[in-house]
Amino acid sequence: MRGSCFVAPPLLKPWCCCLVLFLSPFAAAQSIHAEAYRNELISLAKEQKEWLVSVRRQIHENPELRFEEHNTSALIRRELDALGIRYAYPVAKTGVVAEIGSGSPPVVALRADMDALPLQVSRHSFFIPFSSYNKKKHKSKIDGKMHGCGHDAHTTMLLGAAKLLNQRKHLLKGTVRLLFQPAEEGGAGALHMIQEGALGDAGAIFGMHIDCETPTGMINSLPGSILAAVSFFEVKIDGKGGHAADPHTNIDPIVATSFTILALQQLISREADPLGSQVLSVTYVRGGEALNVIPPYVVFGGTLRSLSTEGLHRLQTRLKEVVEGQARVHRCKAHIDMKYEDYPPYPAVVNDERLNEHVQRVGKLLLGAENVKIGKKVLAGEDFAFYQELIPGVMLSIGIRNEQLGSVHSPHSPHFFLDEDVLPIGAALHTALAETYLDGRSSCMQ
């Protein structure tokens, strides 16, 4: 139950009220009666639990890879149609952008990714203990594909927020844009969404990702760089193959590759700032099959990661210099593919400080202070960073860890399993972040 606008304390100067109004749960408590607001929103979200679980399981059982999310997109559109929510489709091939509210500023965006992973689900996973699904297995029906990163939950929670926001649209002090995004897993779907106008006039954006290390019902967030800038590479070292008994008549690409890989490791140990959090990992080497033949070439590849986008650019430059230099020393030729077409490099995810305060305070208002923690930095990548290059944003994590259910496995694992109790929590949190942001921004514009 909400009142009108946030009211700034009289001692605040006009120029600073915009920074405080939408960030302060104490101001929120004065205007929307925090206890009643929390109880009402949580109650409405819990009423959706059965529907949320049904939606999530439909998506989970029918996983689709990047830019192939046709059935997932169709499900989203059916649900939006049923709710009477206007949307644009297609955006970035399979994406959907919905809009709730006045259609006028202020505008806030909420984002969820839709794509699955090219993983084979473990046949021993996904036993659902809930009473209505007792002794029923629930897993991907598509061989070689699974939602092993929680994107099915992300999409479902945003649909849940759409339903809540639509129920309460008469209370919105502006506009909420809901971004159902394809191709987070390596396809830079966020960049494609931006290029096709998905952000519109949004002044801020929030995203959520499940966290298997945090108990269900808790959230984490952190200001500043929290996720890495990421890129990939593949190198081919060309030599001259021949019989291993006559190494002097050959140009050995295996020796050249060995020196090259060792030299690359020194980019981190000898050139990178130890406080800069960078990684260069060679993850595969392929070359030759016979025991007595030196192959004509060797191929290897891997990933570069840095908690700053600038750090990634330096690594990319030095990788090329080291590979080409080592190849020349060993009389070989190097061919470097940075895989930009298949795997566009992602910038670092950098959370806006003031919006992070908003997340922390709204989280405490909705979930209780004991369920809101300071997050930690991780060298995984997320294309949410593309949105943050244009407008302030926060990527937060929401816990799914439940040892009794077996919801303990990390993302990108064939054993990954989700505690579905997170679904109404995430839907309510999305809703509260958007509503309270718009309340504050609306007050600033008056």
**CA distances for 140 relative to 55, 127, 147, 211, angstroms:** 14, 12, 8, 20
Mean pLDDT by 10 residues, the chain (446 residues): 32 38 45 82 97 98 98 98 98 98 97 96 52 53 95 98 97 97 97 98 98 97 98 98 97 98 97 93 97 98 98 98 98 98 96 98 96 96 98 98 96 95 98 96 64
Compute CA 129 distance to the chain's CA centroid, rounded to the nearest angstrom: 28
Give the list of residues 6+ apart from residue 379 with CB closer than 8 angstroms, or none. Answer: 227, 228, 277, 279, 305, 307
pLDDT computed for residue 298 by the predictor? 98
Residue labelled with tokens 């330096």:
314
Between CA 274 and CA 289 the distance in angstroms is: 39
* C-alpha–C-alpha distance, residues 23 and 31, integer Å: 13
Tokens found for residue 192: 């494609």
Q: Which residues sit in the known binding site for Mn(2+)? A: 149, 151, 185, 209, 412
Position 5 scores a pLDDT of 35
Question: Residue positions in the annotated binding site?
Answer: 149, 151, 185, 209, 412
Q: Which residues contact 136 (CB under 8 A, 6 or more apart)?
A: 128
Q: How many CB atoms lie within 10 A of CB 98?
A: 25
Inter-helix orientation angle 422-445/25-32, to 10°: 90
Which domains does the chain carry? 14-227+348-445 (3.40.630.10), 229-337 (3.30.70.360)
pLDDT at 97: 98
Residue with tokens 């890129």: 231
Q: What is the pLDDT of residue 10?
A: 32
